[in-house]
Chains A and B, each alone.
Chain A
Amino acid sequence: MSLISLAGVGRSFDTVAGRVVALAGVDLEVDAGDLAVLLGPSGSGKTTLLNLIGALDQPTEGRIEVGGRDLTTASRRELFAYRRETVSFVFQTFNLFPGLTALENVRFGADVAGRPDAAEEAHAMLERVGLADRASHFPAQLSGGEQQRVAIARALATGNRVVLADEPTGELDYRTGIGILELLAEQSADGRRAVLIVTHNREIARMADRVVELQGGRVVRDGAPDGGAVPVASLRW
């Protein structure tokens, strides 16, 4: 069975202006070791889908199972545990804790997942994203790219099997963006993790093994990118 499995998932919002269907009839299977890109124009439902997989939101239709756990029937408490133990987020706007240093932010990820080796893990992760020398800096003292690298280190320090990144390069320049994507791409390489990257940028999608394209809340395409995956370094946008 797949690590992530969605069947007939739909999500609609009731607003004063009427019902907004953000997602409809989404079927999706993602396995450990996959690097998948969710591609689609703004408003196509990418974030909504990612939020559902991350259990920040509940579908109005269909079923979602991650790591054998049914998110649609799980209790609130189970969902919190799921977020601690199974998924990790990388946000477009980083969402680092401004009161914690870079190292402490990373350490947060390890602490929250209950890792006994949190301190060492945090150091190792920060080193891996190349920021060992900025360990004691606060987020406000880091550039956008550095902040995003800290955010990735925080997500990875949890050791969780599903990494969800929503437009992780959205606020960054090209060169920095490439670095971030390379870092994320590496994470699925060991075959233990699944990495889902959301983007509206078709060029970025070329790095993935698999591109899931959304339009108007529906999956319009699911498969390898045209011409197969290319190294991140060769992307141009």
Chain B
Amino acid sequence: MAGAGLWVRWSLRDLRKRWLQVAVIALVAGLGSGAYTGLGSASTWRRAAYDNGYAALAAHDAKVSLTANADVDAATLASVPGRLAHPGWVDGATVQLVVPTQVDASIDGRTILVPGRVVGVAFDGPAPAVDRFDLRSGAALSPSGRDGVLDVHFARHHGLPAAGDLRLGGNRSLRYTGLVLQPDYFLIMNDLGGFLAEAGYAVAFTNLEAAQELAGKPGRANQLVVRWAAGVDPGAAHDELAAAFAAAFPDQASTVADRPDERASRVLYDDIEGDQKFFNVFAFLIMAGAAFAAFNLASRVVEAQRREIGIGMALGVPPPRIAIRPLLVGLEVALAGVAFGVAVGVVVGRLVVGVFSDFFPMPAWATPFQGGAFARGAAIGVVLVFVATVYPVVRAVRVEPIDAIKVGLRETKPSGWAGLVQRLPLPGGSLGQMPVRNALRNPRRSLLTALGISAAIATLVGVLGTLDSFTATIDRGEREILATSPDRMLVTIDGFERRGGAATTAVQAVPGVAHADEGLRVVGRVAPLGPGEVADVGAVGTDGFDVVIDLLDMADAMWRPSLVAGSYPGDRPALVLSEKAATDMGVVAGGTVRLRHPRREGLGYRWTVSEVLVSGIHPNPYRYAVFMDLRHASLMNLDGIVNFLQVTPVPGTDRDAVVWGLFHLDGIASVVPVSTITANVRQTVGRVTDVLDIVQGVVLVLAVLIAFNSSSISADERARENATMFAFGVPVGRVLAMGVVESALIGLAATVLGVGLGRVVLAWIVHGVLPGTMPDLLVVTSVRGVTYLLAAALGIVAVAAAPVLTSRRLRRMPIADTLRIVE
């Protein structure tokens, strides 16, 4: 009996004979494992870039902020870290003054008018002690002087130069000398807590004195950021910090937040997990496509070797021995796939990091080789491809030798449903029927090919459907926000004032302003109220979530939320919640929840928890949007107090002109047309899709490769039939056309399967993944017609075109030699 060397040589010869198909399968497997490893590595690189970014810029561990536009004496605030029971726990602290303002960064005739803030930071020597700057371009912020620096996200989004002038609300201005990253603003969130807000939110930094001067608040501050010494328990330190602040400012309500719990930081890190879940789905689907393709090739290699297998068995070679050769082919393909996978992984990883580093600028992005991810991807790739070859091989060596040797038996002994579909009466001549007959001739094989392609299509539908769903969700939010009053703008007042106060009067006097409805916006937190539970402070916090509560005059306002259930608040204080909030808390209209909200006491505010009725549900997809009636401001002890206005321009007036007019008023913090809020979200979501474009590219290549491979395998198997047709004078173009029709049929089946599977994937993403990664958003499942069209274009057109790639081979086929091969 021959030694192992012969079997390896023999299998390599098999491999060489089909080198093109083997290369394609290896590439497909490589795309699968490469996509997995590349996307997996990107997560590690992102986490490292964030960790290093926070460390490099001495990011704060805890932040004390004051509630609702209050401020305190800066020197006293600076003394708080020294008042901790363990002052040694503090490694560094920086006092800040955050000044909300409208920012006019218009340039070259483009109007860029957005809300934002100027953050004044106390310097400790040449740099702040905590939350330092990473200078991206221009000149650094100086500890003295009146110039500032601008956050790079906003500047980059609008293509602003490295230095320039900003006009701020109330006729103030600020010159900036450079563009920076600051760890508190690695991710830009607007006042509403919406992240990815960089297009519509400007953050500028100055030294503390410059900010105090801008705000007209000399010696004041409203935020303290603290960094703990190494080895300090952040929980204990947090409590000491809160106690020290309360001792220093007994009447001042404040929030102490740990950085890992802050939204921006949480979103940054959660996003990695969320993306990875996403990517794993897609990588898995790509792998599934590769496995089907490998299975297909293995089945056909085995079929081609059938007679040889039979002869081997007839000669008494034991089946395991016979199985070695085709199994070796599978293993060799798998190993080649791993080689490709490493290359693809490196490319995909680079592309993904390119997108992320562009999207989330960090002080430094490093991309060290991820051995672990690569080893995992390689292992999965090898195992999948190898396992896919085992089944057909085992099946082949199980048959009786006599059946294996018999010619033609394997080819269509029509039986069962295969026989049924073969007998379907078909219209048209024999040539017209041939493609259908061929596709149905071996339904199992056609189905496998279709499955491989359908995995690619499912991935595509999953990717594009996710994007479509986001778009549909944004559309839904936009419809709700624009609704009856699409021209309206939200005008935020600096601080609070009485109804009918100076700011309101001034706004109403601006030319072009038709109406100004007063409102009150406060932040809070809601949580479900368990049966028999009593509302108490502190209980909200672990199980609830943050909300922004807009108190409007529900009876008269130009805009109010629409309702999908329940009613507007009546006499008792009541909330109108978003569907997502209601579902998450398990309440319906008429139920009760716990609301943590600020309550005015003396000169300051205290957090307090109330049990509040839910009167209605609104359709806005953002969970944090909560509405109350302005009449119920008494709950916060803020009767007759307002801090924002909904303003409509006189029909026909230039909206920009009205915005400018409002912008120049004293006491106005921001002016934002509601339509730009949604426009900015839309723009930013558009950038997230860059990563999905990479996945899409991989998927497209994959589908074409799988289609090409099965066409190429078919061309091999059909060589004799094609030669016979040529012998009868059927032109090459006609033979190709039949191949195209056959492929199109398989492509059609693949598309139907793939779209169905893609919908399942999408449903899982929307209902299984997104609620965890984007808890604030109620994503509606939606797939646009264009997506189906694209799937069909890929599945039917691209797949149908694959046989054309074999036309050279057909044209050059030596007809006589092909026919002389005697089976």
| Cross-chain contact of A100 among B434, B729, B815, B820 (Cβ < 8 A) | B434
C-alpha spacing A138/B421, complex, angstroms: 13
Contact B441 A84 (CB under 8 A): no
Residue-by-residue, is A99-112 near B (CB-CB < 8 Å gives 1, otherwise 0)? Answer: 11000110111011
CB-CB contacts below 8 Å: A107-141 with B: 107-109, 111-112, 118, 136, 138-141
Q: Closest CB-CB distance, A49 to chain B, in whole Å?
A: 11
**Would you call the interface of chain A mostly helix, strand, loop, or mixed?**
helix
Given contacts A84-B730, A138-B412, A140-B413, contact A118 B816 (CB under 8 A): no
B423 — which chain A residues lie within 8 A by C-beta? 136
B729, A56: Cβ atoms closer than 8 Å = no
18 CB-based A-B contacts, threshold 8 Å: A54-B727, A56-B815, A77-B731, A81-B729, A83-B727, A91-B819, A92-B822, A93-B822, A95-B727, A97-B434, A97-B437, A97-B724, A98-B411, A108-B431, A111-B430, A140-B409, A140-B413, A141-B414
Assess whether A99 is in contact with B408, with CB atoms less than 8 Å apart.
no
Q: For the complex, is B438 an interface residue (Cβ under 8 Å from A)?
A: yes
Residue A80 CB within 8 A of the other chain = yes
**With known contacts A139-B408, A140-B411, A112–B728 Cβ distance under 8 A:** yes
Chain B min CB distance to A109 (Å): 7
Contact of A111 among B422, B429, B724, B815 (CB under 8 A): B429
A-contact 0/1 string along B721-735, CB 8 Å cutoff: 101111111111000
Interface residues of B in 436-459 (CB under 8 A from A): 437-438, 440-441
For the complex, is B433 an interface residue (Cβ under 8 Å from A)? Answer: yes
User: Considering the complex, which residues of chain B in the window 790-808 have a beta carbon less than 8 Å from any beta carbon of chain A?
Assistant: none
B residues near A91, Cβ cutoff 8 Å: 724, 819
List A residues 51-74 near B (Cβ within 8 Å). 51, 54, 56-57
The smallest beta-carbon distance between B516 and chain A, in angstroms, is 77
With A99-B441, A140-B413, A141-B414 as contacts: A158 and B728 at CB distance below 8 Å: yes
Q: CA of A89 to CA of B725 in the docked complex: distance in angstroms?
A: 10
What is the CA–CA distance of A120 and B414 in the complex, to the nearest angstrom? 26
Q: Which residue of A lies closest to B433 (CB)?
A: A104
Residues of A within 8 A of B431 (CB): 108, 111-112
A95-B720, A97-B721, A141-B414 given; name 10 further pairs at CB < 8 Å. A47-B820, A83-B726, A93-B823, A97-B434, A98-B408, A98-B441, A107-B429, A108-B434, A111-B431, A112-B431
Residue from the list A47, A107, A112, A118 in contact with B729, Cβ < 8 A? A112
Question: Which residue of the partner chain, among B438, B728, B729, B730, contacts A99 with CB atoms under 8 Å?
Answer: B438
Q: Which of B82-139 contact A (CB under 8 A)?
A: none
The residue from A92, A118, A140 contacting B408, defined by CB atoms under 8 A apart: A140
Closest chain B residue to A92 by CB distance? Answer: B822
Instruction: Decide if B823 touches A85 in the complex (CB within 8 Å).
Output: no
In the complex, residue of chain A having the shortest beta-carbon distance to the beta carbon of B423: A136
On chain A, which size bracket covers the interface? 35 or more
Residues of chain A contacted by B732 (CB below 8 angstroms): 80
A residues in contact with B429, CB < 8 Å? 107, 111, 118
A220 to B732, CA, bound (A): 38
Complex Cα–Cα for A91 and B816 (A): 11
- Is B412 a contact of A51 with CB atoms below 8 Å? no
Q: In the complex, are the beta carbons of A95 and B724 less than 8 A apart?
A: yes
Q: Are A109 and B728 in contact (CB under 8 A)?
A: yes
Inside 8 A of A97's CB, which chain B residues have their CB?
Answer: 434, 437, 721, 724
Q: List residues of A (12-45) whose CB comes within 8 Å of B's CBs.
A: none
Given contacts A56-B727, A80-B731, A95-B720, contact A104 B430 (CB under 8 A): yes
Whether A88 is near chain B, meaning CB under 8 Å from some CB there, is yes
User: A163–B728 Cα gap in the complex (Å)?
Assistant: 11
Instruction: Given A57-B816, A99-B437, A99-B438, verify A112-B409 contact (CB < 8 Å).
Output: no
Q: Which residues of A contact B724 (CB under 8 A)?
A: 89, 91, 95, 97
Determine if B412 and A99 form an interchain contact, defined as CB atoms under 8 angstroms apart.
Answer: yes
Q: Which residues of A contact B728 (CB under 8 A)?
A: 83-84, 88-89, 108-109, 112, 158
CB neighbors of A among B703-725 (8 A) = 720-721, 723-725
Which has the most chain B C-beta neighbours within 10 Å: A56, A85, A104, A107? A56
**Residues 719-762 of chain B: 1 if any A CB is under 8 Å from the residue's CB, otherwise 0?**
01101111111111000000000000000000000000000000
**Are the C-beta atoms of B816 and A56 separated by less than 8 Å?**
yes
| Chain A residue at minimum C-beta to C-beta distance from B814 | A57
A15 to chain B, nearest CB (A): 12
The residue in chain B whose Cβ has the minimal distance to the Cβ of A103 is B430
Say how far B726's CB is from chain A's closest CB, in angstroms. Answer: 7
